[in-house]
Amino acid sequence: MTYTPANTRYNTMIYRNCGASGLKLPVISLGLWHNFGGDTPHDLKRAMCQTAFDAGITHFDLANNYGPPPGSAEEAFGEILRTDFADHRDELIISSKAGYKMWDGPYGEMGSRKYLISSCDASLKRMGLDYVDIFYSHRFDPNTPLEETMGALDHIVRSGRALYVGISSYNSVKTREAAAILRDLGTPCLIHQPSYNMFNRWVEEDGLKDTLNDLGIGSIAFTPLAQGMLTNKYLNGIPEGSRATQGKSLLDGFITPQAIEAIRGLNDIAENRGQTLAQMALAWALRDGGITTALIGASKPSQITDCVGVVGNMDFTAEELSAIETLARDEDINLWARSSGSDNGPER
Ligand SMILES: NC(=O)c1ccc[n+]([C@@H]2O[C@H](COP(=O)([O-])OP(=O)(O)OC[C@H]3O[C@@H](n4cnc5c(N)ncnc54)[C@H](OP(=O)(O)O)[C@@H]3O)[C@@H](O)[C@H]2O)c1
């Protein structure tokens, strides 16, 4: 079926400048980590991308390894670009990343120049693109000089493979170092992609949020719904088909009685504000403009429609914020702590 984008698509979405740059991003962006691999029907992936674009979501976030199998989300998105968005490339901000394991051998992961540049080429090929808008170092690599990783990002821009660069899950200290190297090279760091939500507030504790504001670097918070925990989904148990049943990244131990109690309390606050818990969780992540955009995932189009409804109420009273503060406690769900150096334990 031919797709024609809604001509109302820019009517309600809010766009914010990404840090000190001239690039505007929608306050809600769509990520293709889960539900865009070979295990999801193509029509559903297409419907989610169409719903997003119709609602003013211009930013789609990918990575080399999104699937399963790794690479299949980029292939599917490439197909959707061809069938649905071919005439709209200049309305889209498409990102990809490299850092996690993509192929066997010593050059298939982490932060070397060899890996980043060849992975970027492979991503472009899978998506059928000449360039991505943003290319990221997906995680900090303690065994590669930062100059090498940032030099590779600079080269990726200078060679026309990407327009902007970003880093993901780097802590505040490493972000300052990376940003300084990139500035000296003449390719400023556009954006940082950290995990952030009411149950995972490491960016506040580490000082990263303040650092980004200081440096004029934009931010895109991933897992703003704590992989679905900060929605009405788990209020009364674990529903069939939900991410918690899939043995992927929403681990068994995450949905504790303490978390469910907090989710119920937060849901009450959201109801009093006249919005869904998902909308309130997104508004909270975006509060005060400290985060440029919230990077959601979805398993069906209606979730995206619900999430973009956040633009109807993004303000909080002091009373609401202090009520949320008593419930928004760390639930030990940060799977990416190792990259940012806040956890020396094994990768989960
Ligand atoms: N840089 C990195 O290292 C990194 C790491 C992880 C993710 N990311 C990026 O962040 C993106 C988002 O991650 P995420 O999918 O974990 O984010 P999330 O928005 O916290 O969780 C998405 C899940 O929440 C549920 N959901 C979404 N909207 C809902 C609604 N309105 N009502 C009820 N449930 C709703 C769905 O769960 P069900 O599937 O159960 O329906 C959906 O799959 C990824 O796609 C990726 O682009 C980046």
Kindly give the number of the ligand 1 atom that is closest to the alpha carbon of 224. 20
Residue 88: predicted pLDDT: 98
| DSSP helix/strand/coil, 252 | helix
Residue 1: predicted pLDDT: 82
Residue 344: predicted pLDDT: 42
Q: Going by C-beta distance under 8 Å and a sequence separation of 6 or more, which residues neighbour residue 228?
A: 234, 242, 243, 244, 250
Residues of the chain with pLDDT under 50: 344-348
Nearest to 39 by CA among 248, 275, 312: 248
Nearest to 166 by CA among 213, 217, 90, 115: 217
Regarding pTM above 0.85, the answer is: yes
Q: Model confidence over 14-45: pLDDT tens digits?
A: 999 999 999 999 999 999 999 999 999 999 99
Pocket mutation for ligand 1, best pick of 295, 308, 335, 338 (most atoms within 8 Å of C-beta)? 295
Residue 196: predicted pLDDT: 98
Kindly give the number of the ligand 1 atom that is closest to the alpha carbon of 139. 3
- C-alpha pair distances (Å), 175 with each of 128, 159, 165: 31, 24, 13
Nearest to 28 by CA among 45, 6, 3, 9: 9
Separation of CA 115 and ligand 1 centre (Å) = 27
Separation of CA 193 and ligand 1 centre (Å) = 14
Q: Going by C-beta distance under 8 Å and a sequence separation of 6 or more, which residues neighbour residue 88?
A: 5, 53
CATH number among 3.20.20.100, 3.40.228.10, 3.40.50.720, 3.20.20.210, domain 15-228+279-314:
3.20.20.100
Residue 342: predicted pLDDT: 53
- Which residues form ligand 1's pocket by a CB distance below 6 Å? 31-34, 61, 138, 168-169, 193, 222-228, 231, 233, 242-243, 278, 295-299, 303, 306-307, 336
Separation of CA 118 and ligand 1 centre (Å) = 28
**Distance in angstroms (rounded) separating the CA atoms of residues 123 and 75:** 9
Question: What kind and span of H or E run contains 166?
Answer: strand 162-168
Q: Which residue has the tokens 């956040």?
A: 310
Copy the structure tokens of residue 275: 């919005």
- C-alpha pair distances (Å), 174 with each of 149, 180, 316: 12, 10, 32
